[in-house]
Structure 1
């Protein structure tokens, strides 16, 4: 089992017991904007996904890990996706599900853990993330954790009939 541990949270591989948590997250419309989801997911599809979540990151080009508080409660998910092994880059997506768990430093610790993992174990040279321009908490999270704003994609995401800009952030590993 993959375990990446910090002072406040740890990251672990997905388990079959995570079905209900992931089902709820994937079917919460509030989160669809950040995950580019357009339709609900069935329990069947999520169960199949969990059954295949052990597949190698280099084969499927993604890895989803559960974020757990130190009292072993799931608080969110971190995704490494769009892995490009040749160019040694990958995208990140992070979600702390319950608002009561936001602002506690979980996100910052997760970004630190996942960056260390990607740079040291996967040989990634750069991580990147897209954040809508109105998502102030995510902007603060990435900027406070050394991700640099490198561009803005104008009118990139259509939400409820209105276009939103998306800010592109990068974290480059300068240790070769």
Structure 2
């Protein structure tokens, strides 16, 4: 009898997978959407060549202290977003988490599902004690998402980001396992 092994980074609808060279066009659209630049600290557009290099040079999380997964919709066989772990700290057993979903695929629950999978991976595989994220105070969608997944707002960083006119506060969220 052959046992079907389920990928820890997969559910019945999405798969978190490593970026492939074929994802360059998707990442190019996602990263160069200026609507996202304020929350991603991006100042200049990414070239396709730079994105190809990023994909080819992405190493394991232990050496780079960060990793990006593509959120792949298995029912339609297409990428819908990205989830990142960053500032990975195995000593203190924590990492930051960030997520972005393509505008065409928002409001379908994919962000919640992807975060649930990355939390399981962080807790069970990396043996992390917590994940954290920084959210612009005015980003109500992101705040609602993380709060719905039991992340707790544990602090505020005043005047943390300059938006071109004013300074914005950033909220610090944590989830302990």
- TM-score w.r.t. the length of structure 2 is 0.91
- In the other structure, the counterpart of 1:13 is 18
SS at match of 2:77: coil
Q: What CA distance in whole angstroms lies between the structure 2 residues aligned with 1:102 and 1:44?
A: 27
Out of 111, 115, 118, which is 2:115 matched to? 111
Which stretches of structure 1, 4 residues or longer, exceed 6 Å deviation after superposition?
none
Q: Name which of 148, 157, 162 aligns with 2:166.
A: 162
Secondary structure of 1:40's match? coil
Contact 1:3-1:13 within 8 A present in 2 as well = no
What are the ranges of 5 or more consecutive residues in structure 2 without an aligned counterpart? 1-6
Deviation per CA, 1:34-54: give whole Å up to 9, x if none.
21111122222111111112x
Query: Is the contact made by 2:8 and 2:120 (CA closer than 8 Å) also made in structure 1?
Result: no
Q: Secondary structure at the match of 2:52?
A: helix
Per-residue CA deviations over 1:75-105 (Å, capped at 9, x if unaligned) read 100010111111111000100111x422211
**Structure 2 CA distance for aligned equivalents of residues 9 and 125 of structure 1:** 25
Give the whole-Å Cα distance in 2 for the aligned partners of 1:22 and 1:103: 20
Match of 1:150 in 2: 154
Task: Tell me if 1:33 matches 2:38.
Answer: yes
| Alignment partner of 1:66 out of 62, 66, 70 | 70
Secondary structure of the corresponding residue to residue 4 of structure 1: coil
Q: Within the alignment, does 1:91 sit opposite 2:103 as a pair?
A: no
C-alpha RMSD over aligned residues: 1.3
Q: Cα offset for 1:3?
A: 6.6
Partner of 2:127: 123
Distance 1:14 1:123, change over 3 A: same
Structure 2 residue corresponding to 1:42, chosen from 30, 39, 47: 47
CA contact (8 A) 1:77 1:94 kept: yes
Conserved? CA contact 1:3–1:12, under 8 Å: no
